Chains A and B, each alone.
Chain A
Amino acid sequence: MGKLSANRGVYMQRKERLWVRLKKDIKVNYLLYLLVLPGLLFYIIFCYVPMPGVLMAFEDYQARSGIFGSTWVGLKHFTRFFNSYYFWVLIKNTLRISIYNLVVGFPIPIIFALMLNYLNHKRLKKTVQMVSYAPHFISAVVICGMITMFFNKDTGIINQVLERFGGEATNFLAKPELFDDIYVWSGIWQEMGWSAIIYVAALAGVDPELHEAAIMDGATKIQRMIHIDIPSIKSTIIMLLILQFGSVMSVGFEKAYFLTNSMNKSAANIISTYVYEVGLIDRDFGFSTAVGLFNSLINMILLITVNKISRKVADEGLF
């Protein structure tokens, strides 16, 4: 990245003001700025503009009085949440699903990308890649509908197959102990191809000379993966890992919500569904904001800690 802007070349005078420098840079690299603009707008509109809303966590929010006019109650909502029966249940469920998802879901796209990388048949490679990332574009509602249908006890295809082979039909979605598996593995199926794209791109940038030299020395494919490919994409892996840690506490809301029923609720009750239920259904906005804010705080702390660790251990980090 650094190279790119240097090549494009704008001479930056140290002494000039940021604004002036920025203006000059925009003149030269206006296309790049144009490219950044939609992303920038997205963050401004959806992340920064609503930010005063966190104030709701400290007040008895009433729509009429608004964010700036509602009664200030301090940490009341937080105390209520920490003392609530659901506090530990939610934390446990959220962490369990999320760590499972991280441990299994993180390496799989890397392995998948490595395998793709060694496919010599161009056509086949493209097809596999496209087929594997297609599910990413299916909305969570549809995915959950599919899961519910496939796992249906009487008519679901999975139980049909199981019964054909002498197994016993099981009501998978009714078992709290299976909820994590269903949640995580369906997520892997959906996102594996999409998450692999970034690794495939990084692998394409590996210097072919390294591979040639390794082949000359008689390295096997596995050895080449371990000694050339993985070290080359190490920084990408670490960056994505840190980012993933930053969202450990935010398990996707939609899927958890749509897959919940009264039998697996004990395992499926996570922070984001709880926020939805108390906030939007019971319209306890202050309380639900407090829970959400707490969630974000934990995420932030995790992100910073993991980044620090990574800086120390691997000398790589986001910031």
Chain B
Amino acid sequence: MYDTPNSTEASVSQTHIKIAARGVQVHYGEKHALKDVDVDILDKTVTAFIGPSGCGKSTFLRCLNRMNDTVSVARVSGEILLDGEDIYDKRVDPVQLRAKVGMVFQKPNPFPKSIYDNVAYGPRIHGLTKSKAELDEIVETSLKKAALWNEVKDRLQETGTGLSGGQQQRLCIARAVATAPEVLLMDEPCSALDPIATAQVEELIDELRSTFSVVIVTHSMQQAARVSQKTAFFHLGNLVEYDATQTIFTNPKDPRTESYITGRIG
């Protein structure tokens, strides 16, 4: 229904490279926040970014949909290809890019609107629907995907800020899903949630993998181990190691990775 042109191509191969980053550097004013990062993010895969605070993992995530553009002192160099197209090319409109690469933030940030309008926000601004019935359907499927439908189906017109923290975060995920992105970026989506809500969101991430490529930044190594197939370890602005999650957690090649996952640094 709201399939994007790339999804047919993507379904051909499960290991198709969705995003390819080469030599990415980020400066925040004087600070060199990210040094020479090369990563290939696969389609229909959950990729986890782990590392101690200030290691550059969130910075790199925000490069992937050019959210760093809104920070005036940030300067990004290097090359990031989404389906082979440079997203930092002058011809690329960051607004269109962000419609394809959605984002869920650390703190739930529902708009001060009704639950329905929160989810319908993306489809409306991108003109994804022709009729009210179609929009209703998108709202319903998105809320179902975010495992929130049963809790809110009778109060869609109530304000989204009145939900509990975990419900708010799932609403934000539903909101991102409704825009039909190809990649979903999640910046510590569970840090403000209790264990039950965390479990629900993690389950959700696993389901979303069938449709999108998901990139998640997390402070919890258990969470990375539970939800991801690929893991990248960042340390002091460097990408130290990037491999299958299993390998990173059982057989890390770099001593820094080993120290971090065994709890000796970070």
A, B assembled together: no
| Interface set of B (CB-CB < 8 Å, partner A) | none
List residues of A whose CB falls within 8 A of some B CB: none
